[in-house]
């Protein structure tokens, strides 16, 4: 009987579905265990081989825990709101809900064919109104809460109102906007309703405020900091600019300290915790107030080194600092304004890319030193960021490299306050260890002592106090997009009001088009009919009323992370339409025991989820203020792509149209008009039409007046328009890198380069392409014109390097895929996908099958197991158990191979060996395990069979093959009884003729005997 994996796998997948084998009960006698995967975004490209890596690992763990007798919750769902579906909708008019549903169908089919033990009865989809009802509900809870630093938790906003009514806000220590003004109870009680609401908004955990946001023009929306990578949007790589907009924000900064402290209580990877720590960015120091001379103004700075206050040579303000224009003297006005204008023009990205250039301007104004009362000049400089601290720094050039560079550049006096440090040297000594000098009352003190002392003194003067600053900013929560959760919000007199929770969900209305309205409102502004709210909190349809006051609704939608910030709790009770989850459900499941997912979510999803969890904890909805006890990051499986570049020949041939420069090709603007011609010529030159050109407008480099890119022939016109629109003159040069090559050509490359499973290998590498190709591996040189490089990078549709698991499941089966993905290497490691080794695990499965099923049927008998077989079995049990518990899945696959090889060699047929072996293998290769299990006569699924017990006694040996080494080098081995004494071992070894041969008559200086381990003879 052959191992017919296709038939077997289909059979058991049907069986599991039909019998709901993996359905988790909320009531059970068994202990619970909650294994969670990060749910996928169902993209149009379908599942690729990288997705299942983490899912397979968690599935093995979940199945293992079932064998251990746990009631396992192992759910799956979809993070189904998001940009790509909407971008697709804009292009095609197809409703995102439809494409999303289609994609989910594909994902489900692909997930099912791998044989995961998910409890699909608990599936959630973030775009399902039944689900996002609760996302909206949480939003309302956040709106109705404030953060009390005294109790260190979120409290109901009604408590705050009570305090205001009785004593005003002077004694309130809350997370709130810095612009808050003090008022008394008297004031509060006479404020009108709008004023009261305005004030409360400054305290709410989600609030509406005008903030500087990251605006992405190409996507038409704002983005959170973690959605921007290297200054461009994470999705699509579009440029991002700073812009002031009225936006919903989440007051995550209130939780900064708890988010930081909480990291100590959870078993997450160190690198991930470190990322979160950096992101939160706690720094302890002091805030110091400086009085501006001849002005009734103060400048507040934050510093981590208040002890260096006597070293302050100048102040530096961010160019955007609000006081700059007020304090600038008439003489300096022109210079300062010019500088401000120049920095405003530079994009954030330029500013980031160019940290070396020192620039700034003197305002002409001075502050007074708090102790010496000396005047200190005030400068502005773009190395000071408006968004961090107060946007102002006290500059201590003898202590800080940047301040030093700035002072040198502008020739500002540098005073030295460090003992024994030569400030003419650019490399500074470790300042934390240096004694303070030239600093009045701080002289002779260490960093620590001086810091303490100076804060005391500043407090006496009323000009400062100790302060802790966090880098973590509040998270912008509005998106000007269609495909997201609508806010349960309407406006009265411009103030936001919550729609009563009983009307939830506020469903996403239909729109004609998914673009902003003509008046520039978000896409929801196009909706003509949707549930909305009147004054009396009655939800009615827009078109059913008239003559009544109509209140505007919130037209923004929530960001992608809204739906994923509590989904792990919703799985506990996913069909509950009365509550987000019942108390019984959360009391039973508590929190996620094991969470597996990618580290790319370190500062996004994983931070926001922790924040919401802490909020839910404060409100008493959950029992733990961390949602996941343990978290493992699976590494990414990378795709192989090829790209082609450098066409020297082409430039020479077409030298009249195109010039070569720095290995790139330049085309002047006039030549753009004949570009179509050029392309035609090129196409005939390289007959197979494989050249096309591509460009991206946003990569225009202003500094060099270049597009470091490729041009696609048909897109010449739009490019030219952009060019002229931007007002660049006609002599501008385009730098063209013509390596975007078409599929036809790559098929040739592919055959030559012997790729497997990669049908399309085109990559757009518009960023740093020279570096990229220099780094990559040259795999082919075609006619000396094209060079083909192979590179390994993240799988993505746009790189044409996606490998999906379907073909592998068909050719080798899901069990092979599961084993192979585990066998590739350690779970956490990044690794390129390469199918070369899959035959290894596949033939292992065939050998396993043959061990049980011979030519004439079942090979398994009731014979007594041999000693050797028992030893093989028990050493396998031990190793596999340890491996699973250490998440070292790759080594258990080897262990299985060894076990099967040994048992085959032993011709083992004993049921007592082969039956437990199946349970060991079943988490890894569940289909074949189920099939063989049933062939052994079981009517029940193997999935709850108890995990075999390891017994030491079968491994006990009577002798050991000792390695005998001379000066640490192993020469030969010697079989000796394990109960032999140290002395006897030494004696036996020394008497051995091989030892004598090695010693050649010399007397050993020393003999080391480690019983059970090794013998080392030192000569």
Partner RNA sequence: GCUGAAGUGGUGGAAUUGGUAGACACGUUGGACUUAAAAUCCAAUGGCCAUUAUGGCCGUGCGGGUUCAAGUCCCGCCUUCAGUACCA
Contacts of RNA in 821-840 (CB under 7 A): 823-826, 829-831, 834, 836-837, 839-840
Q: Which residue of 17, 98, 194, 229 would you call a contact of RNA, by CB under 7 A?
A: 229
Question: Binding pattern to RNA, positions 242-271, x when CB under 7 A?
Answer: ----------------------------xx
Coil, helix or strand at residue 998: helix
| Positions in 62-121 near RNA (CB under 7 A) | none
Q: Least CB distance from residue 598 to RNA, whole Å?
A: 10
Residue (of 702, 424, 571) closest to 39 by Cα position: 571
Q: Least CB distance from residue 836 to RNA, whole Å?
A: 4
Residue 846 lies near RNA (rule: CB under 7 A) = yes
Strands (DSSP E) contained in 820-873 are 831-832, 853-854, 857-858
Give the whole-angstrom CA distance, residue 239 versus residue 786. 31
Residue span binding RNA (CB under 7 A) among the ranges 127-135, 503-511, 742-750, 1010-1018: 1010-1018
Our CB check for RNA shows the closer of 69 and 1011 to be 1011
Give the whole-angstrom CA distance, residue 918 versus residue 808. 23
Residue 391 lies near RNA (rule: CB under 7 A) = yes
Residue 394 lies near RNA (rule: CB under 7 A) = yes
Our CB check for RNA shows the closer of 854 and 968 to be 968
| Positions in 174-193 near RNA (CB under 7 A) | none
What residues have CB less than 8 Å from 792, skipping those under 6 apart? Answer: 638, 639, 640, 641, 832
Residue (of 3, 61, 97) closest to 634 by Cα position: 61
Q: Which tokens go with 460?
A: 């006496």
Q: Least CB distance from residue 10 to RNA, whole Å?
A: 22
CA 641 to chain centre: 23
Residue 385 lies near RNA (rule: CB under 7 A) = yes
| Positions in 942-961 near RNA (CB under 7 A) | 961
DSSP output for 587-639 = HHH-SEEEEEE-GGGTTTHHHHHHHHHHHHHHTTS-S-SSSEEEEEEPPPEEE
Give the whole-angstrom CA distance, residue 225 versus residue 472. 10
Q: Which residue of 583, 756, 775, 907 would you call a contact of RNA, by CB under 7 A?
A: 775
Q: Which residue of 600, 649, 663, 760 would you call a contact of RNA, by CB under 7 A?
A: 600
Instruction: Report the 3 state secondary structure along 244-309.
Output: EEEEEEECHHHHHHHHHHHHHHCECCHHHHHHHHHHHCEEEEEEEEEEECCCCCEEEEEECCHHHH
The answer to whether 918 and 927 have CB atoms below 8 angstroms apart is: no
Q: Least CB distance from residue 587 to RNA, whole Å?
A: 36
Our CB check for RNA shows the closer of 200 and 606 to be 606
CA 932 to chain centre: 41
Q: Least CB distance from residue 1018 to RNA, whole Å?
A: 4
| Positions in 700-759 near RNA (CB under 7 A) | none
Residue 303 lies near RNA (rule: CB under 7 A) = yes
Strand partners, 665: 660, 736
Give the whole-angstrom CA distance, residue 423 versus residue 417. 10
Q: Would strands 375-381 and 314-317 be described as parallel, antiparallel, or unpaired? A: parallel
Cis peptide preceding 154, ω within 30 of 0: no
Q: Least CB distance from residue 406 to RNA, whole Å?
A: 9
How far separated are the first and last CA of the chain, in Å rounded?
A: 61
Strand partners, 631: 595
Residue 767 lies near RNA (rule: CB under 7 A) = no
Our CB check for RNA shows the closer of 502 and 1006 to be 1006
Question: Binding pattern to RNA, positions 450-489, x when CB under 7 A?
Answer: -------------------x-x------------------
Q: Least CB distance from residue 84 to RNA, whole Å?
A: 19
Q: Least CB distance from residue 270 to RNA, whole Å?
A: 5
Our CB check for RNA shows the closer of 137 and 755 to be 755
Q: Which residue of 119, 226, 320, 821 would you call a contact of RNA, by CB under 7 A?
A: 226
List C-alpha distances in Å: 202 to 6, 174, 224: 61, 10, 20
Q: Least CB distance from residue 54 to RNA, whole Å?
A: 16
- What backbone torsions phi and psi does residue 693 show, to the nearest 5 degrees? -120, 150
Q: Least CB distance from residue 738 to RNA, whole Å?
A: 25
Give the whole-angstrom CA distance, residue 921 versus residue 60. 10
What residues have CB less than 8 Å from 306, skipping those under 6 apart? Answer: 285, 286, 288, 451, 454, 455, 458, 464
Residue 970 lies near RNA (rule: CB under 7 A) = yes
Residue 274 lies near RNA (rule: CB under 7 A) = yes
Residue 383 lies near RNA (rule: CB under 7 A) = yes
| Positions in 915-944 near RNA (CB under 7 A) | none
CA 401 to chain centre: 32
Q: Which tokens go with 575?
A: 């069909």
Q: Which residue of 841, 870, 873, 884 would you call a contact of RNA, by CB under 7 A?
A: 841
Our CB check for RNA shows the closer of 532 and 561 to be 561
Our CB check for RNA shows the closer of 681 and 847 to be 847
Angle, CA of 293, 295 and 299, to the nearest 5°: 75
Residue 602 lies near RNA (rule: CB under 7 A) = yes
> How many residues bind RNA, per CB under 7 A?
88
Our CB check for RNA shows the closer of 283 and 668 to be 283
Residue 1013 lies near RNA (rule: CB under 7 A) = yes
Q: Which residue of 197, 443, 796, 891 would you call a contact of RNA, by CB under 7 A?
A: 891
| Positions in 311-370 near RNA (CB under 7 A) | 318, 351-352, 354-355, 357, 359
Residue span binding RNA (CB under 7 A) among the ranges 68-76, 454-462, 479-487, 885-893: 885-893
Give the whole-angstrom CA distance, residue 460 versus residue 463. 8
Q: Least CB distance from residue 401 to RNA, whole Å?
A: 8
Our CB check for RNA shows the closer of 436 and 841 to be 841
Residue span binding RNA (CB under 7 A) among the ranges 82-90, 439-447, 548-556, 842-850: 842-850
Question: How many other C-beta atoms lie within 10 A of the C-beta of residue 185?
Answer: 14
């Amino acid at each position: 009987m052959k191992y017919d994996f296709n038939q077997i796998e289909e059979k058991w997948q049907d069986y599991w579905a039909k019998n709901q084998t993996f359905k988790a009960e909320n009531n059970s006698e068994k202990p619970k265990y909650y294994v969670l995967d990060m749910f996928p975004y169902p993209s149009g490209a379908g599942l690729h081989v990288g997705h299942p890596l983490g899912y397979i690992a968690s599935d093995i763990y979940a199945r293992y825990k079932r064998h251990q007798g746990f009631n396992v919750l192992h759910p799956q769902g979809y993070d189904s709101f998001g940009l790509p579906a909407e971008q697709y909708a804009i292009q095609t008019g197809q409703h995102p809900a439809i494409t999303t549903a289609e994609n989910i169908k594909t994902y489900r089919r692909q997930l099912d064919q791998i044989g995961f033990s998910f409890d699909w009865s608990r599936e959630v989809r973030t775009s399902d109104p039944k689900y996002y009802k609760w996302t909206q509900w949480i939003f309302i809870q956040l709106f109705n809460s404030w953060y009390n630093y005294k109790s260190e938790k979120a409290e109901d906003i009604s408590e705050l109102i009570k305090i205001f009514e009785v004593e005003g806000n002077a004694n309130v220590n809350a997370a709130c906007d810095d612009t808050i003004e003090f008022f008394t109870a008297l004031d509060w009680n006479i404020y009108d309703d709008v004023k009261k609401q305005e004030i409360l908004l400054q305290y709410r955990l989600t609030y509406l405020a005008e903030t500087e946001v990251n605006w992405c023009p190409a996507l038409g929306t704002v983005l959170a900091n973690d959605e921007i990578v290297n200054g461009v949007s994470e999705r699509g790589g579009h440029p991002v600019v700073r812009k002031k907009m009225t936006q919903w924000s989440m007051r995550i900064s209130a939780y900064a300290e708890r988010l930081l402290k909480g990291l100590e209580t959870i078993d997450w990877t160190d690198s991930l915790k470190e990322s979160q720590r950096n992101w939160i960015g706690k720094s302890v120091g002091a805030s110091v107030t400086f009085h501006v001379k001849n002005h009734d103004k103060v400048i507040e700075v934050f510093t981590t080194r208040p002890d260096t206050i006597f070293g302050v040579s100048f102040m530096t303000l961010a160019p955007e600092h609000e006081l700059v224009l007020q304090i600038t003297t008439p003489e300096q006005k022109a210079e300062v304004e010019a500088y401000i204008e120049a920095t405003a023009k530079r994009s954030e990205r330029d500013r980031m890319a160019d940290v070396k250039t020192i620039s700034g301007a003197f305002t002409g104004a001075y502050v007074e030193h708090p102790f010496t009362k000396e005047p200190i000049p005030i400068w502005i400089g773009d190395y000071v960021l408006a968004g961090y601290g107060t946007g102002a720094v006290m500059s201590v050039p003898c202590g800080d490299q940047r301040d030093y560079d700035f002072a040198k550049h502008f020739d500002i006096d540098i005073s030295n306050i460090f003992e024994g440090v030569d400030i003419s040297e650019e490399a500074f000594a470790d300042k934390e260890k240096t004694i303070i000098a030239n600093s009045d009352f701080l002289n002779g003190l260490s960093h620590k002592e001086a810091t303490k002392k100076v804060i005391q003194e500043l407090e006496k003067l009323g000009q400062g106090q100790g302060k802790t600053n966090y880098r973590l900013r509040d998270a912008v929560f509005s998106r000007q997009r269609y495909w997201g959760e609508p806010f349960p919000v309407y406006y009265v007199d411009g103030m936001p009001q919550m729609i009563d929770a009983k009307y939830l969900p506020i469903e996403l209305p239909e729109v004609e088009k998914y673009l902003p309205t003509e008046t520039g409102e978000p896409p929801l502004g196009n909706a003509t009919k949707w549930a909305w709210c009147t004054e009396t909190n009655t939800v009615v349809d827009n078109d059913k009323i008239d003559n009544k006051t109509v209140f505007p609704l919130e037209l923004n939608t929530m960001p992608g992370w809204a739906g994923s910030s509590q989904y792990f709790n919703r799985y506990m009770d996913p069909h509950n339409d009365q509550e987000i989850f019942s108390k019984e459900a959360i009391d039973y499941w508590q929190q996620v025991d094991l969470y597996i997912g990618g580290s790319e979510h370190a500062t996004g999803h994983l931070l926001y989820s922790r924040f919401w969890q802490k909020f839910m904890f404060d409100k008493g909805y959950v029992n733990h203020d961390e949602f996941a006890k343990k978290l493992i990051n699976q590494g990414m499986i990378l795709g192989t792509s090829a790209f082609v570049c450098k066409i020297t020949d082409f430039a020479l041939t077409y030298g009249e149209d195109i010039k070569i420069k720095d290995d790139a090709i330049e085309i002047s603007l006039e030549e753009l008009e004949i570009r179509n011609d050029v392309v035609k010529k090129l196409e005939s030159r390289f007959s197979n039409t494989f050249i096309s050109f591509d460009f991206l407008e946003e990569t225009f480099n202003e500094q060099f007046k270049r597009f470091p890119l490729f041009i696609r022939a048909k897109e010449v016109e739009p490019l030219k328009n952009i060019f002229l629109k931007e007002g660049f003159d006609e002599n501008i040069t385009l730098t063209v890198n013509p390596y975007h090559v078409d599929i036809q050509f790559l098929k040739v490359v592919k055959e030559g380069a012997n790729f497997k499973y990669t049908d399309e290998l085109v990559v757009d590498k518009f960023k740093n392409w020279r570096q990229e190709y220099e780094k990559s591996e040259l795999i082919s040189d075609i006619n000396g014109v094209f060079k083909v490089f192979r590179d390994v990078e993240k799988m993505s549709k746009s790189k044409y390097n996606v490998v999906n698991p379907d073909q592998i499941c068909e050719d080798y089966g899901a069990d092979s895929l599961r084993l192979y993905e585990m066998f590739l290497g350690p779970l956490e490691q990044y690794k390129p996908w390469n199918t070369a080794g899959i035959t290894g695990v596949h033939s292992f499965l065939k050998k396993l099958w043959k061990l049980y099923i011979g030519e004439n049927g079942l090979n398994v008998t009731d014979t007594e197991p041999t000693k050797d077989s028992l030893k093989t079995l028990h050493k396998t049990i031990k190793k596999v158990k340890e491996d699973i518990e250490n998440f070292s899945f790759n080594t258990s696959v080897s262990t299985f191979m060894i076990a099967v090889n040994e048992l085959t060699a032993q011709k083992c047929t004993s049921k007592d060996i082969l039956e437990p072996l199946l349970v060991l293998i079943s988490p890894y290769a569940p289909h074949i395990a189920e099939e063989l299990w049933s062939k052994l006569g079981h009517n029940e699924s193997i999935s709850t069979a108890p995990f075999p017990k390891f017994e030491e006694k079968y491994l006990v040996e009577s002798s050991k093959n000792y390695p005998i080494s001379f000066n640490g080098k192993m020469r030969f081995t010697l079989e000796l009884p394990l109960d032999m004494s140290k002395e006897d071992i030494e004696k036996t070894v020394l008497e051995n003729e091989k030892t004598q041969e090695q010693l050649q008559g010399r007397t050993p200086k020393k003999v080391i005997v480690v019983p059970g381990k090794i013998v080392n003879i030192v000569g």
